[in-house]
Structure formats: structure tokens, C-alpha cells
Amino acid sequence: MNNHVLGKETTNYARLCRLLVDGGTKVFRGIFDKIHPPESLYHTLSTHRAFLESLYTGNQRILNREQWRKLFPSTPSIVSSQNFDITLLTLLLRNISGLRPPDTGWNTLPPATDTSTEADIIRVKYWRNEVYGHDSRAFVHDLMFDRYWQDIQQTLIRLGGKRYGPVINTLKVEYMDPDVAPRYRELLKQWIEEDGKIDQIEGKILHKKCL
């Protein structure tokens, strides 16, 4: 058994990483499923296959092999958003789901008065980047933790509904396994790295999207 115990401020950081990765994935998946019902998902993806394939086979290789197989499995009937990670969900929401970025674009924090779905998707990304800014030391003191948590929680609940409130409240206080904490740090890092690739080329490919 690992007897290592996380310090309070290190636990704070790990909790925020988990909230963003797990909470963000569940909420983004809920939005995606509402726009693209699971029963017609394969047909929807097939409609956009040319665009998605350009992200898989193009020079940028935005989609990796694992993601491609989840989008277009050998058995079409098993395709499911339950297998999509948050980076893939973000890409699909921004590019094949009829969402339109605010006037400030997908990469700029919108004004507080804008609480649209698109604006809150951007806010999740903003808070992700803010939290990741603490990765070099991997700890967040209590006052900042509470501020981050409240802002992220409000954003996720606006996006997904009040039903996510109890789940988020539980994540804030339940035991954080020291062995699991590094995994969430790594997942947050991977999310940022993969999302960065999308940001770099998205402006160049928007006009090529399959509508």
C-alpha cells in the first residue's frame, strides 16, 4: 500500500484537475448528446467524415489513431460519445455541432454578461489554463482553491444543469487517492497540448468544414 499522503494544497490542485477533466467531460458529453442523439451518431459523423478525415490524415494530425477508431469503429453500431475524451468532444462541439463562437472568438474570455453555451465552453478552457498555471508547483492554497472551484462549478452547472451540483459538491470533499492525483495532472496537461494543436489550425480549416 502506498502510504504517501497528499498535502492540503497539493490535494487542492489535484481536485481542481479532476473537476475540470471529469466534470468537463461529462458536461461536454451531455451537450454533445443533446445536439447529436446517440441513436443517429454514426450517421452524423459519416456526414462530416471528409472534414474529420482531413484532421486525421492531414499534415497536422489533429486526430490520433485512437480517436479516429472511436469515431469510426469497425462496427458502426458501437460508436458512442461515452468513448470520446474531452479534447475530442471540444473539437466536435466547435466544428460540427452548429455552435458559433462569440465575437471575441474561441480563444478569448468573453464578457461576464455573455452566458451562452459557447461562452461557457470557452470559460471551461480559460479556467483549465488558469489552474494549469499552478502545475510547476502542483499546489493551490485554500482561498484560491475556493475561488477557482466556485467559478468552475457555476460554469459547469450553467452548461449541464443543476443535476451536476451534488456530483461537483462530492468531488470537493471526498477522499483524493494520492496514486490517482498524478493521473489527473497528466490528463490536464494532455488536454492542453492537444487543444493547442486544434487552436493553431482551426482558423485555417473552418472554411473547409463539411456543413
pLDDT score, position 178:
87
In sequence order, which residues have a C-beta less than 8 Å from that of residue 91 and are 6 or more positions away?
55, 62, 63, 198
Asked if the structure places residue 142 within a domain, the reply is yes
Asked if the structure places residue 153 within a domain, the reply is yes
* Side chain identity, residue 178: P
Asked if the structure places residue 68 within a domain, the reply is no
Euclidean distance between the first and the last CA atom of the chain, given in angstroms as a whole number: 53
- Block means of pLDDT (10 residues each) for the chain, 211 residues, are 66 94 96 96 96 84 91 94 95 93 88 94 95 88 95 96 92 89 91 80 51 45
pLDDT score, position 14:
93
The C-alpha angle with vertex 3 and arms to 2 and 5, in degrees rounded to 5, equals 110
- In terms of Cα–Cα distance, which of 64, 72, 69 is closest to 45? 72
The radius of gyration of the chain from alpha carbons, rounded to an integer in Å, stands at 18
| C-alpha span between 182 and 11 (Å, rounded) | 11
Cell of residue 105, nine digits: 472568438
Please report where in the chains the cell 462549478 appears, as a residue. Answer: 153
> How many C-beta atoms surround the C-beta of residue 176 within 10 A?
18
Asked if the structure places residue 178 within a domain, the reply is yes
pLDDT score, position 187:
92
Asked if the structure places residue 34 within a domain, the reply is yes
User: Which residue range(s) make up the domain with 135?
Assistant: 8-38+84-208
Environment class of 113 (CB within 10 Å of its CB; exposed 0-12, middle 13-18, buried 19+): exposed
Asked if the structure places residue 59 within a domain, the reply is no
> How many C-beta atoms surround the C-beta of residue 107 within 10 A?
13
Please report where in the chains the cell 474561441 appears, as a residue. Answer: 106
Asked if the structure places residue 49 within a domain, the reply is no
Asked if the structure places residue 66 within a domain, the reply is no
Domain count, the chain: 1
| C-alpha span between 183 and 26 (Å, rounded) | 18
Task: Kindly report the length of the chain.
Answer: 211
Q: With beta carbons less than 8 A apart as the criterion, state whether 19 and 148 touch.
A: no
| C-alpha span between 74 and 115 (Å, rounded) | 39
